[in-house]
Amino acid sequence: MRDQQKIRHFPRRKFKYSVGVLHQGSYELCQAHEIGEGGMLIETGLPIKEASLVCVNYFIPEQGFITVMAEIVYSKNNKMFGIKFVDLEFEYRRFIRDYIAQKTKEEAKELAS
């Protein structure tokens, strides 16, 4: 696994919501853990390999639904996956940016550690 601190380009925030993931004809509701403009951390039981493409669908509170293609960039124990959004529309970036800007000081301290 790559050192994630070195390759992160965007701030992130905890994101404990359900996310729909479609991969090779299999769909599963999985758990998201973090989100940033560049991607998110998800937990799923789907058999996904690094560099695979998936379609993800999720809701940003007070913003709206987002559906976007994403690439699996790393995995932890074939259960937790870091995904990178592919061609995320500007409006969706703004949804995520606004959500992250509402991050509390407590959340910022937790994510920094």
Listing DSSP states for 70-92 in one string gives EEEEEEETTTEEEEEEES--HHH
- pLDDT, tens digit, for every residue of 42-91? 999 888 999 999 999 999 988 899 999 999 999 998 899 999 999 999 99
Query: What is the per-residue pLDDT across 96-105, written as a single tens digit (0 to 9) for each?
Result: 999 988 876 6
Query: Superfamily for 7-104?
Result: predicted glycosyltransferase like domains (2.40.10.220)
- The residue ranges of every structural domain in the chain are 7-104
Q: Residue 5: what pLDDT?
A: 45
- Residue 2: which pLDDT band, with cuts at 50, 70 and 90? very low
The reported pTM is 0.82
Q: pLDDT at residue 41 above 60?
A: yes
How confident is residue 1, by pLDDT bands cut at 50, 70 and 90? very low
